A and B are shown apart, each in its own frame.
Chain A
Amino acid sequence: MKKVLTFMVPLSGVVILLFSGWVAPGFGQAIAPAGPIKIGCLLSFTGALLHDGPQVRAGIQLALEHYGSEVAGRKIELVIEDDGTDPSTALDKARKIVERDNVRIVIGPQASHVAQAVQPYLTERKVICMKSRQFPIPLTAKFPYLFVVDGTYKQTTSKMGDYAYNVLGYRKVSTMTADYVAGREFMGGFTERFVELGGKVVQEQFYPVGSMDYSNYLANVNVKEADCVAAWTVGTGGPRFAKQYAEYGLRQKIPLITPFISGILNEDTLPQIGDIILGVPGPSSYASTIDNTLNKRVVADYRRKHGVRPTDNGVMGGYVNMQVVMEALKATKGDTDPGKIKEAILKLNLETPAGPVRFSPERIGILNIHICKVAKEGSDYFWQVVQTYKETMPR
C-alpha cells in the first residue's frame, strides 16, 4: 500500500503539471480547444507613457462590452500586464503571458523602442500582435505577425503638410520637436510633405526628451523668416510649451501649428493651458468630435463610465485594436491559429469610431486622418474636426 502511495503523489503531480501547461506549454491548450481565448495586453502603467496605459485599457474594455465577451462560444479573457515603458520589462512580461497564460494574441506595446524589443520574441512564437498606435513601414515589414491599425507616424503627420500648405497658405516653417525617434518621425512626415508641395523649412530645432524648459528654443525662433512655427512635444511638456509660447510673446507674432495634435495638446491638459491655445491645428487619426453613429455611441458610453471624452490612445490603441481582434475571431469562428487570424485580419473592412479602416498588404492600416483645431464649449475643451483626408496610405 505504502509503495503505491509513494508512487501516486509524484505521478499525480506530473499529470497536473502537464495539464496546467507548465511542462509543455502547448499541451494544455491542445487538451482544451473550447476554453477561453486569452488576449494579452502589454500596456504602460508606469514609466514615460504611464498616462496612456489606462486609456488604452479603457478602450479595450469598452470594445469588449460592446461586442459581448464571447466569440463562437469561447469566452474572451484579458491578461493585462504593465510593460513599464521599458524594453526589458516588456520582454519579461511578454514571455510570461505567452508561456504561462497561453496568450495567442497581444494588443500593445505602445512605445516604439519597447515594441521593437518584444517583436522578435512574439514573431518567433507566432503570436499575433496589434501594435498600440503607429509604427514605421520598415519595422512592421520585419515581423510577419504584427499589425499596425493606426498607420505610420508619417502617414498622419504628412496630412498636416497638405493642410498647412494648401489650406492655411503657409510657405516657410520653423520647426521644433523632441530629439528621439517619434519626435523626428512626426516632424519628418510633416516637413517632407510640406517641402514636396513647395514649402521651405527655414529652421529646425530639437530639444532633449523630457526637457523641462523650452524658453531657449522659443527665444531662438526665426520670426523674421518663418510664417509659422510647427512644434511637437510629448506628455508633460505640452502644457509647459503652450504657456511658454504665450509668455515669450510668440502668440502675437507668429502662428503655431503642430504636426500631430496628440502628445502636445492632449485633451486632458487643455483646461490647464486655457484659451491661449484655442484654434491651434494638428492632425489625428481620432477625435471625439468625429461624426458617425458608432463614435457617438463610444463617446457617450466612455463619458458615462470615465467622466471624460475618449482619447485617441483609448480608441485607436484600445477600442479599434480590440474590434479588429473580435472581428477576426468571428471570421475564424474562434480558431486562434495565427495563419488563419492573419488572413482574416487582412480581409477586414471595418467601420470604427474613427471611420472606415482596412489593412494594406504590409499589415498597416489604411484610414482617415482628421485635421483638428483646439476648441471649447463652455468649460469643455476638445479637438474639433475641421477637415478629413480619406483613406490615407502608409508612407
Chain B
Amino acid sequence: MERMLLNLLNGVSFGALLFLLASGLSLVLGLMGILNLAHGALFLFGAYVGISVTQNGGHFILAGLVGGAAGAAIGLAMERGFLRHLHGRILEQVLISFGFIYVLTNVASWIWGTVTQIVDAPISGAIVLGDLFFPKYRLGLIAIGLVIALGLYLFDKTRVGAMVRAGMDNAEMAGALGVNVKFISSMVFCLGAFIAGFAGIIGVPIFGAYPEIALDALNLALIVVVVGGTGSIPGALIASLLLGVLDSFGKALLPGIASYTIYIALIIILVFRPSGIMGRSA
C-alpha cells in the first residue's frame, strides 16, 4: 500500500516538473502558432545558469529566478531576431528552432563542459510514511507546480489574459479592437521561456544538467503538449499529471516496457481524442 502511495507521489512530482516544462511551449504554440523546438534548450540554459549561481554562493531561489531570466532573455532574442519573421511558416520555424537547439547545446558544453552536473536540493531530508521515505524536495516540486498552475489560471482571468486569449482565437480581430497583439505575443513568449528556464534549474537536483537534456526535455514537453491539447494550460496540467503517474506506475508494475509507457499512453489518448485531452479540433 505504501509503495503504491510512493509511486503516486513520485508520479505527481514528475508530473509537476513536466507541467513546468510544457506549459510555456503550449502557451507559445497556442497563441503564436510558433512551434519553438528550442524550448528544451531554454530548459538546459536555465539549468546551467542556475547551477553557476548556486556554485557562486547564490541561494537556490535566486538561482531559479536567474535561470528563468536567462531563459527569457534567450527566448526574447530568438523571437525578436528570428521567429517573428517566420509567421505561419512551420517548416522554417522547425528548422531554425531545431538549429538553435544544437547551437545552444554546444555553447553550453563549451561554457560548462560535458560532465553531468548536479546540485543538492535546497531542502534535504524526507517525510516518512510508515516504512517509506519521500524526499521533501519532491513535495516542494508539487507545490511549485500548483503555484504556477494557479498563477497561470489567475492570469487568464485578468484583462491581459483576456487579450492573450483573444489573440489566440483571432489575431486580426483582436488587433482591430486595439489589442497590441505583437507586444502581447512577445510577452507571452518571454513568460513561456522564463518558466522553461526556471523549470530547468528546479529539475537539476533530480535529473542533473547535461548537454543532451535539451532534446530529452523537448521530447517530454512535446508529448505533454500533444496529449493535453495545444494552447491549453489546463490540458497541459492534466496531461502532465496523467503522464507522470502513468510513467511511475508503468515502471513499477510493467518494468519490461518502462521506457515506453509514456508513448503507449500518448497513442491511446490520441486514438480517442486526436486533438488532445482539452484540445480544440481544427
Contact = CB atoms under 8 A, between A and B. Distances in A.
Interface string A205-233: 11110101101110110010000000000
Interface stretch (A239-247, A338-346, A351-359): A239-247
B132 interface: yes
Interface residues of B, number: 34
Nearest to B131: A223
A179 B114 CA distance: 23
B118 A247 contact: no
A100 interface: no
B103 interface: no
Nearest to B205: A243
Given A179-B259, A220-B3, A240-B207, 19 more contacts: A51-B115, A206-B256, A206-B258, A208-B258, A210-B216, A215-B138, A219-B6, A219-B132, A220-B7, A223-B131, A239-B208, A240-B118, A240-B208, A243-B118, A248-B134, A248-B135, A249-B128, A249-B133, A268-B115
A223 B131 CA distance: 10
Given A215-B10, A216-B248, A205 B208 contact: no
B252 A220 contact: yes
19 contacts: A50-B114, A179-B259, A206-B255, A206-B256, A207-B258, A208-B258, A208-B259, A210-B212, A210-B216, A216-B10, A219-B6, A220-B3, A220-B251, A220-B252, A236-B115, A240-B116, A243-B120, A248-B126, A248-B134
Contacts of A247: 124, 126, 133, 135, 137
Interface residues of A, number: 26
Contacts of A216: 7, 10, 247-248, 251-252
B118 A239 contact: yes
A212 B132 contact: no
Interface string B103-134: 00000000000111010100010101001111
A272 B252 contact: no
A235 interface: yes
A249 B251 contact: no
A205 B255 contact: yes
Interface in B169-189: none
Contacts of B207: 212-213, 240
A132 to B, nearest CB: 19
B14 interface: yes
B10 A219 contact: yes
Contacts of B210: 236
Contacts of A249: 126, 128, 132-133
